[in-house]
């Protein structure tokens, strides 16, 4: 049995089943987990709650855990010649660890700390490395997680090489799935390697979209989501949606962030849950389906993603919601 261990200065606390489901869903988005490994996996998970400005890892320490963010905002940065350089920003639904820790022991080149009070689920990297050697499925999952970390690092390297601050900001908008209203501007400025006052000038110019043109854009977005039911597409992406409605990706992201106050994934999932709620209220429209199949029809790629998102938005599981109606 893998060793149960908790984060530094915290005891092992086993998470509630629904929280473990969120982690399983996150991993399964990379590659399906076999049932026997899923059960073993649950035995190794622990709960961690950190306060604002508390560190999960200090630069130079060995990274021992992979964290899944249930709620909160976590930032990674490296210090070079007494200057702090933000390397990534992570919100709920994402995983975070030092890249170096994901492929073996050694001093981390970055620090990780909480910008907000944060609730996380942790997994010892020692277990991941063990499964890397014994499980084909975990080999794929770990490789894809590391790839996502390197992709984030590559995007930042592109950002700092771009010409103007405006171009950097537009590229960031086109590549992030975050609701940037959640993120303090100084962290975005640091990530983009621009001065905070420069970013403030850009934000003043590009705040809440207004006017007839924005109304036209919103009509395009809503026609795409409602009449074309684009939310049913599995794997719908920001760039795919932007191409389909002929809007620049950064402009679409900007409208979702500042007009609808949502990240891309939250925006799409709100339509998916709304569609399924309407179906559940009229049994004659879905009695030929299982609830899981209904989630698939609504655009969710996995049962766990469907159930966790539905409960987040309604406070009930789909089955509970159907019975209440």
Distance separating alpha carbons of residues 245 and 237, to the nearest angstrom: 13
Residue range 247-284, pLDDT digits in tens? 988 889 888 888 888 888 889 999 999 999 998 888 77
Residues 217 and 255: beta-carbon distance below 8 Å: yes
* DSSP conformation letters of 165-213: HHHHHHHHHHH--S-GGGS-HHHHHHHHT--HHHHHHHHHHTSS--SHH
Residue range 152-209, pLDDT digits in tens? 777 777 777 777 888 888 888 877 878 888 899 999 998 888 899 999 988 887 765 5
Query: What's the fold here for domain 17-160?
Result: Jelly Rolls (2.60.120)
| Element (DSSP H or E) covering residue 249 | helix 249-258
Sorted by where each begins, the domain ranges of the chain are 17-160, 162-205, 212-324
* Nearest by Cα to 121 from 174, 172, 66, 203: 66
Q: pTM above the 0.85 mark?
A: no
Residues 56 and 115: beta-carbon distance below 8 Å: no
Multiple choice CATH, 212-324, 3.40.640.10, 3.30.420.340, 3.40.30.10, 1.10.10.60: 1.10.10.60
């Amino acid at each position: 049995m893998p060793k149960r261990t908790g984060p530094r200065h915290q005891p092992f606390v086993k998470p509630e089943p629904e929280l473990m489901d969120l982690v399983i869903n996150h991993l399964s988005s990379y590659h399906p987990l076999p049932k026997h490994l899923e059960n073993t996996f649950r035995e190794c998970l622990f709960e961690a709650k950190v306060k604002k400005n508390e560190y999960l890892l200090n630069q130079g320490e060995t990274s021992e855990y992979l964290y899944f963010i249930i709620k909160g905002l976590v930032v990674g940065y490296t210090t070079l010649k007494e200057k702090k350089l933000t390397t990534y920003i992570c919100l709920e639904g994402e995983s975070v660890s030092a890249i170096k820790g994901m492929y073996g022991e050694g001093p981390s080149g970055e620090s990780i700390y909480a910008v907000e009070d944060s609730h996380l689920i942790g997994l010892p990297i020692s277990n991941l490395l063990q499964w890397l050697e014994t499980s084909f499925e975990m080999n794929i999952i770990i490789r894809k997680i590391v790839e996502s970390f390197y992709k984030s690092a590559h995007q930042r390297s592109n950002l700092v090489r771009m010409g103007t601050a405006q171009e950097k900001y537009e590229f960031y908008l086109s590549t992030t799935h975050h609701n940037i209203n959640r993120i303090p501007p100084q962290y975005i400025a640091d990530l983009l390697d621009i001065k905070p006052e420069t970013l403030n000038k850009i934000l003043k110019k590009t705040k809440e979209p207004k006017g007839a043109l924005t109304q036209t854009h919103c009509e395009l977005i809503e026609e795409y989501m409602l009449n074309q039911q684009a939310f049913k597409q599995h794997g719908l992406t920001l760039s795919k949606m932007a191409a389909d409605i002929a809007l620049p990706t950064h402009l679409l992201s900007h409208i979702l962030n500042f007009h609808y106050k949502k990240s891309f994934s939250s925006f799409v999932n709100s339509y998916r849950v709304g569609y399924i709620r309407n179906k559940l209220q009229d049994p004659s429209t879905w009695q030929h389906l299982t609830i899981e199949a209904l989630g698939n029809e609504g655009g969710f790629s996995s049962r766990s993603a469907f159930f966790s998102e539905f409960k987040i938005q309604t406070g009930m599981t789909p089955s509970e919601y159907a019975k209440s109606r």
